[in-house]
Structure 1
Amino acid sequence: MTNQFLHTDQEQRSSVIYSTSMGKGGLFVPADYIGSNRNDTIIDETEDDEGTSSASDHLNNSNVNNLEDNGEMEFLLGNEDDNQNNNRYHYESINEAQENHRNSIAEQQQTGSRVSALGRRSRANSMCKSLIDEERDLLIDNKLLPDTGEHRSRANSIVESMYGNIEPTDIDVASDIITTWNDAIDSGKPIQSSFKRETQVISFNALPLIFTFILQNSLSLASIFSVSHLGTKELGGVTLGSMTANITGLAAIQGLCTCLDTLCAQAYGAKNYHLVGVLIQRCAAITILAFLPIMYIWWSWSETILSWMIPERELCVLAARYLRVTALGVPGFVLFECGKRFLQCQGIFHASTIILFVCAPLNALMNYIFVWNKTIGIGYLGAPLSVAIDYWLMAIGLMLYTIFTSHSSKPMKCWNGIIKRRQIFKNWKKMLGLALPGIIMVEAEFLGFEILTIFASHISTDALAAQSIVSTIASLAYQVPFSISVSTSTRVANLIGASLYKSCIITCKVSLLLSFVCSSFNMMIIVTFRYQIAKLFSNESDVVDLVISTLPILAFMQLFDAFNASTAGCLRGQGRQKIGGYINLFAFYCIGIPMSYMLTFAFNMGVGGLWFGITCALVMMSICQGYAVFHGDWKQILHAAKIRNSEGARVN
């Protein structure tokens, strides 16, 4: 996990769920609803198969309480009041504990305790500018630190100090920054940001995310684009099949894996590296076993079940064929989701991006070959086959990265081999207890927009095809404001961790301004090129006409979609993501979907009615979330951040 500004211990909790859904509920990831304040259950377990003894690394000068169950030790970390009566420990082997102790003494002798602390707090955020760089820039902007070439050339290398040799000049630069910052805080000197500085930081951090999310989105885009030219029914079939796969399979898998966001991060923070590998394998095994009944239903009963909801029988047949082929790749998807979290808990966030840079173009190439190639192409089934193969390639790519990476975190230190069969189901109830909120939130996200697909299927086959195309365009346009949202949440969290709430307000305003610029650009592109965009996806004149008539509504929606993303990012950074999540659920399920149904079927507005209803929901979300962002109790927000900081320090 990455830290905030160097003088704080606040941990960033933002993470991104990779999916093929376009749902706006992704603004609030399921981990946001799984206890974000360290009051969660932490499971610690070690195997003692060879009879070796274990030693405890004492926390809070407490005594050791051993809880053993068949060689497996576990303990609970309760709330702050309970901790006064309960001892808290994490277990390490004697050799590892002694080695860590010797290294700690040597490090302090070489660099001093202050620089040692700096090293522990100096992990670079792979998606953002280094935090020490941002902290230095704020000091320079406020004329508290000279703008010298030395500070600019040496500061970036400091973030590597915890892993490599520390140069004396690095120590001097780091000490200057921390000392100057602390002196300013102690003396009450204001440290404020500016609109220019926040624009630079948010834009710089959002730029790589835009490419990442577009690549992520291209996985579904390639299938829609390749199949759309086969015919209207094929496009409807791949849309219905993808929707069913998302709701009944991929969403539940992602929800189950969200328990690792909590468990692995806490195990790694407690330096219980072996437990990280155990948890990853346990979650993967349980998830695959849980999917087996779903796979059976996909193979044997999907056509029958879909026919209960979808009037077009041929669409159900095509969707069922899509599900049978896609099922072959789902285990690979499970391994990728678990492997991604295995690396993220160690502070390696860029691995999945690297894999996507390779697998996304391969997916597009496979779609062309398997769908359209005259020699080996198989038509419609080529699209799900490409998806299934790509899932496995993503998993294999992540595995190869983990094994061969030269990253200084050395991720293989958390891998102690394949776990034993008797370990798979230990503590699975605690894991499932953390996963259930994640399943609910992910399912709510997926289900919301997929309900619109079911509505469209009851209009006509052409309407379903048009709905699929408009959804794909909306999802693609959403990637830029969503990237700004993620960048905003990180920056706001950093500033709140540093108690700079006035600068935080500036950041929120800049985020809204940038979202307006991006949404205006998206709106102009969609309106101006709506004819070309529609014809790019389909050759069917009826489908093209429906898409062209709906795109102006989608263009208008861009304004509020971007505002919704921006304000949601601000709320996440403030640590008030639950407020945004509840606003989303209320606006979407109580306003958006009911209004979409009424406008579509009662007022005969067709596909346009579906999107007009969702636009109304986004207007409500933007207004309510914007009010929550700028009218929150900043004292309470800062106080809550300090509590999280202190809890994080005690656990780590």
Structure 2
Amino acid sequence: MFDTVNLKLFVSLGLGGVIAQSEWVFWEALGLIVGKLGIIAMSVHTIPNQIVMNVSTIPIAFGIALAVRMGISLPSSVRRTQYIAIIVTSISVILFGFVAILLYVFRSFFITIFVNNDDSGTDKAVYDLAEEIWPLVSFYNLNIALFGLLAGISSGLGKQWDLGVINVFWLWCFGMPIIYYTTIVKDNGSLNDAWFWMNISYIGINGTLILVFVCSDWYKIQDKILYQDDDDNENTDNKNGSIIVVQQQSNNVATSKPAMETTSLL
């Protein structure tokens, strides 16, 4: 029989995850805004953009692994799952905080991968502006690392919709308008303003997610998982019972058939 209940649950979580991925669309829209600042600003924005996209894959992978581990642990122990989430997140933040410091200390090396530090010309302007925004870039790497871990926790708790709504609010309702205003509409707007308010937006996301996790009833989530498992087991038992009955009937037919054949032959 077609399981419509679990299908609806799957689709609901999937849609929440799709909305949560509006964070990636935000990055593309941000590139369009930065493009209005000119070629130099766009060239500079491309440098940390490439670095962030590569470095952030590591904490995002940590978050995915954490979500899987929480999904295994939560049905059996809420306390242990909370310890796992806290310990993994804390250690990871320390690790990626160290990475953010290294990105800042060796900023000249990373910038010169993309542009030469000449004494004059366009390259010099790009290098100087990149160095100017680099403290914000380094801090953003820590910000996005924490976000990747918290996104994993939200998946582990089945809170994709919470993550999606929080992302939409902080990035699209708060972040995008204020970034557009401070960089394009306001006089003397710069790339520095865009990266500053982007950090503020992600601080808002991370803070709100932490608040949601702290205020959530993890035991209620566990009960919901166990209740769903009981329903699945009951359905499985019913199916198995039906299969057993069918098998027994088949066995009866199989055992009686030779007798009938023998009788007919006699």
Aligned to 2:247: none
Where relative contact order (Cα < 8 A, 6+ residues apart) is larger, the structure is: 2
1:450 aligns with 2:28: yes
Verify: 1:645 aligned to 2:217, yes or no. Answer: no
Which structure has the larger Rg over C-alpha atoms? 2
Structural mapping, 1:139-150, within 5 Å: none
Which residue identity lines up with residue 584 of structure 1 in the other structure?
N
Take 2:81 and 2:188, find their aligned partners in 1: how far apart are those partners? 46
The letter of the residue matching 1:571 is S
| Shift in alpha-carbon separation, 1:576–1:440, aligned structure 2, 3 A | closer
How far did 1:442 drift? 7.8
Aligned residue in 2 for 1:565: 148
**1:534: which partner in 2?**
111
Match for residue 200 of structure 2 among 613, 616, 629: 616
Letter in 2 for 1:595: I
CA distance 1:632–1:536, change in 2 (3 Å): same
2:42 pairs with one of 464, 467, 471: 464
Match of 1:598 in 2: 181
Counterpart code for 2:212 = A
> Which residue number corresponds to residue 579 of structure 1?
162
- Does residue 1:79 correspond to 2:5, yes or no? yes
Q: Mean Cα displacement is larger for which, 626-635 or 440-449?
A: 440-449
Partners of 2:197 and 2:170 lie apart in 1 by 10
Q: Decide whether the 8 Å contact of 2:20 with 2:168 is kept in 1.
A: no
Does the 8 Å CA contact 2:174/2:201 hold for their aligned counterparts?
A: yes
> Kindly, what percent of the aligned residue pairs are identical?
19
Cα separation, 2, equivalents of 1:598 and 1:506: 42
Determine the structure 2 residue equivalent to 1:507: 84
Is the CA contact 2:66–2:149 (under 8 Å) kept in the aligned structure 1?
yes
Corresponding letter in the other structure for 1:78? T
Q: Is the 8 Å Cα contact of residues 20 and 161 (structure 2) preserved in structure 1?
A: no
Q: 1:581 to 1:523 in 2, by over 3 A?
A: same
TM score, norm. by length of structure 1? 0.33
Contact map agreement 2:63 2:153 (CA 8 A) in 1: yes
5+ long unaligned stretches in structure 1: 1-58, 60-75, 81-261, 267-432
TM-score by length of 2: 0.76
Shift of 1:643: 3.2
Quote the Cα distance in structure 1 between the aligned partners of 2:140 and 2:202.
8
Q: Distance in 2 between matches of 1:508 and 1:491?
A: 9
Per the TM alignment, residue 567 of structure 1 is displaced from its structure 2 partner at its CA by 1.9
Give the whole-Å Cα distance in 2 for the aligned partners of 1:638 and 1:442.
Answer: 23
Deviating more after overlay: 620-629 vs 555-564: 555-564
| Correspondence list, 1:39-54, <5 A | none
Is 1:522 paired with 2:99?
Answer: yes
**Partner of residue 119, structure 2:** none
Name the aligned partner's letter for residue 546 of structure 1.
L
RMSD value over aligned CA atoms?
Answer: 2.8
Q: What code does the residue aligned with 1:501 have?
A: V
Alignment: residue pair count: 227
Q: 1:440 to 1:636 in 2, by over 3 A?
A: closer
Kept in 2, the 8 Å contact 1:466–1:547? The answer is yes
Question: 5+ residue gaps in structure 2?
Answer: 117-122, 240-266
SS for the counterpart of 1:578 is: helix
Asked whether the 8 Å contact 2:20–2:167 carries over to 1, the reply is no
Q: Does structure 2 conserve the Cα–Cα contact (< 8 Å) formed by 1:457 and 1:464? A: yes
Structure 1 residue ranges (4+ consecutive) displaced by more than 6 angstroms after TM superposition:
none
Task: Determine which of 73, 83, 92 is the counterpart of 1:495.
Answer: 73
Match of 2:59 in 1: 481
SS at match of 2:4: coil
Amino acid in the other structure paired with 1:645: D
Letter in 2 for 1:637: I
Per-residue CA deviations over 1:483-536 (Å, capped at 9, x if unaligned) read 2211111111111122x0001111111122123112212211111111111111
Q: Distance in 2 between matches of 1:452 and 1:644?
A: 41
* Aligned-partner residue type, residue 515 of structure 1: S
- Structure 1 residue 443: deviation in Å? 7.1
Whole-Å Cα distance in 2 between the matches of residues 484 and 443 of structure 1?
17
- Cα distance change of structure 1 residues 472 and 647 upon mapping to structure 2, 3 Å threshold: farther
Q: Which has the higher helix share?
A: 2
